[in-house]
Amino acid sequence: MKATRLGVAGLVAALLGTFVSATPASAAPSAADTTSTATCATDPATPKRQFRAMWISSVVNIDWPSKASQTNPDRIAAQQAEYRELLDLAGRLHHNAVVVQVRPTADALWPSPYEPWSEYLTGVRGQDPGWDPLAFLVDESHKRNLEFHAWFNPYRVSMPAPGGAGADLTQLAPGHPAQQHPDWTFAYPPAGVAGSRLYYNPGIPEVREFVQTAMMDAVKRYDIDGVHFDDYFYPYPSGTYQVPDDATFEAHNRGFTDRADWRRDNINLLIQEMNGKIKAAKPWVKFGVSPFGIWRNKTVDPLGSDTTGSQSYDIISADTRKWIKQEWIDYVVPQLYWYIGQYPAADYARLVPWWAETVRGTRVQLYIGQADYKSGDPAYGPYWQNPRELSDHLTLNRSYPEVQGNVHFSAVQVRANRLGATDIYAAEHYSRPALVPAMPHLPARPLLFPVVTKATRQADGVRLTWRQPADGVGPLGTATSYAIYRFDGTTLPGRCATADAAHLVDTVRATPGNAQSWVDTSAEPGRRYTYQLTAVDRSANESPASPPAFVLR
């Protein structure tokens, strides 16, 4: 948004313009009224801040783009329309972010100087799609005021044959870095075994540096809000096959004598270094990981959870608890894809409190990964035939203040709405808009409140026009978006009026230029309303509220 500064006369005029009809002289709120809400009673069903997103997978065309779009005569337009439809869905559900897979298999959904174009755009590995999808994805998301978290898979190079390249380097895109450096890769399970695919070897320092460089290209060149890793680090075990890294361990063990510890340290280095590089380039960009839902079981480690399932610490070398305690990540989204009930291996009701306790006392935010794909699918058993299962998950989360949001897997499953489960949890938990949780440890500069210059009734609702009295230069101290609150009648909103989302009617992206505008299409004809606005920066820090604007007719 262009930096704007009003002169004293202009500011006075703008302030006077907020009063559509005669109003009390004491209408302007004090700073305490708008910022001190810690003691306010709030409704847990309408939280003011809650991370709400869905994963949008590109690998094997799970969510976007569709495989059918690849052969559409107007492929680009078709793929853009598909993405907009998913954003429409996010808007209807009052989501405030999307997590989009932009590097599914050591490839790219942008013109990368390091890696080939993703085959999931055109159906052909390495083929230029004729446009820049990532630029479009970010821009369209921001138009809807959705945070854009770029989802990268660090080490996966291929998917199994016959659909993917399998273990065959020659089947990768021409000139693929893995072809130029075959020693950087291994096949797992071994070539010739069903399900075999290629991975970059996490134990090779040059590999770790390369994948970070490839991912940082997107961070530096695009206006993303977050970097997101999933749960794929070392490959999940397949039968009794071992990861073939004997030579790598011998050459690059860094003094480790235990290979399991060395593998975990390889992934620790990836996480720690990636976080450092992100923050050095763009300190406001968040870094999050979505790990497998069990770190360790307490029968093996007293710090573990009351579970008996697979342990990510051991099977994929992911020491997620360490990443949290060291604060190498800004948020964590454990994939708690299990039901509430008598399931000793991994009961949702046992895992949520463990993750809540794990993040407690750290600055790492906890969101929960939800298994929308299981809802209504008979393959996952009778518990998932309960249309309320997912909503019950979100209700349970309310008992743990550390849980600050949810991410749903995945977009097409959310849209499928089997058993009406999406409708149920949306009505009971996402009935109002919400701001994403602020991250106080990220750099920010205070924002001045916006000033409503006009509030007028028109055929399609109430139009608000406002200005930002002063704005910063660059990404900090700049109003990225606005939160709009509406109250029935002509009232002076008090200290607690904006403590939850009961009166939050919308959040809108800032647009270029001095004047900002928005139409309240839900305003009823003839009713009186009071509006207040706050400016929100790109880290979701909120300014004090504007003086109230009244609509009397």
Measured CA to CA, the distance from residue 284 to residue 538 in angstroms comes to 8
Percentage of residues in the chain having pLDDT higher than 70? 93
Q: Examine the pLDDT at 348 and tell me if it is beyond 50.
A: yes
What is the mean pLDDT of the segment spanning 279-290? 98
- The pLDDT of residue 334 is 98
Contact 494, 548 (CB under 8 A): no
Average pLDDT score, the chain: 93
Contact 6, 14 (CB under 8 A): yes
Residue ranges matching CATH 3.20.20.80 in the chain: 51-159+205-430
Position 482, amino acid:
Y
- Retrieve residue 503's tokens: 């009166």
- The pLDDT of residue 30 is 33
- The pLDDT of residue 514 is 75
Q: Which residues contact 109 (CB under 8 A, 6 or more apart)?
A: 58, 101, 102, 103, 117, 118, 120, 121, 133, 134, 137
Measured CA to CA, the distance from residue 188 to residue 234 in angstroms comes to 10
- The pLDDT of residue 474 is 75
Measured CA to CA, the distance from residue 436 to residue 452 in angstroms comes to 24
Q: Examine the pLDDT at 384 and tell me if it is beyond 90.
A: yes
With bands split at pLDDT 50, 70 and 90, how would you rate the model's confidence at 493? very high
CATH superfamily of 51-159+205-430: Glycosidases (3.20.20.80)
What is the mean pLDDT of the segment spanning 168-174? 98
- Retrieve residue 46's tokens: 């309408």
What is the mean pLDDT of the segment spanning 365-390? 98
- The pLDDT of residue 5 is 34
What is the mean pLDDT of the segment spanning 360-374? 98
- The pLDDT of residue 292 is 98
**Look-up: residue for tokens 């096949």?**
187
- Exposure of 413 in the CB half-sphere (CA atoms within 13 A): 19
Strands (E), 232-388: 286-289, 331-332, 365-370
Q: Which CATH number fits domain 451-551: 3.30.1390.20, 3.40.640.10, 2.60.40.10, 3.40.30.10?
A: 2.60.40.10
With bands split at pLDDT 50, 70 and 90, how would you rate the model's confidence at 31? very low
Contact 370, 336 (CB under 8 A): yes
- Report helix, strand or coil for 507: strand
Q: Examine the pLDDT at 2 and tell me if it is beyond 90.
A: no
- The pLDDT of residue 89 is 98
Q: What is the DSSP string of 408-459?
A: ES-HHHHHH-GGGHHHHHHHHH-SS--BPPP-TTS-----PPPEEEEEEEET
- The pLDDT of residue 28 is 34
CB burial class (10 A; 0-12, 13-18, 19+) of residue 107?
Answer: buried
**Look-up: residue for tokens 């990404």?**
475
Answer with the residue of higher pLDDT: 22 or 248. 248
- The pLDDT of residue 24 is 31
Q: Examine the pLDDT at 15 and tell me if it is beyond 70.
A: no
Q: Examine the pLDDT at 374 and tell me if it is beyond 80.
A: yes
With bands split at pLDDT 50, 70 and 90, how would you rate the model's confidence at 36? low
What is the mean pLDDT of the segment spanning 46-51? 98
- Report helix, strand or coil for 227: strand
What is the mean pLDDT of the segment spanning 417-444? 97
- The pLDDT of residue 538 is 93
Measured CA to CA, the distance from residue 254 to residue 247 in angstroms comes to 13
Radius of gyration of the chain, Cα coordinates, nearest whole angstrom: 25
With bands split at pLDDT 50, 70 and 90, how would you rate the model's confidence at 37? confident
Measured CA to CA, the distance from residue 173 to residue 105 in angstroms comes to 11
Q: Count CB neighbours of 522 within 10 A.
A: 10
- Retrieve residue 265's tokens: 């340290």
Q: Examine the pLDDT at 312 and tell me if it is beyond 80.
A: yes
Residue ranges matching CATH 2.60.40.10 in the chain: 451-551
With bands split at pLDDT 50, 70 and 90, how would you rate the model's confidence at 495? confident
What is the mean pLDDT of the segment spanning 251-271? 98
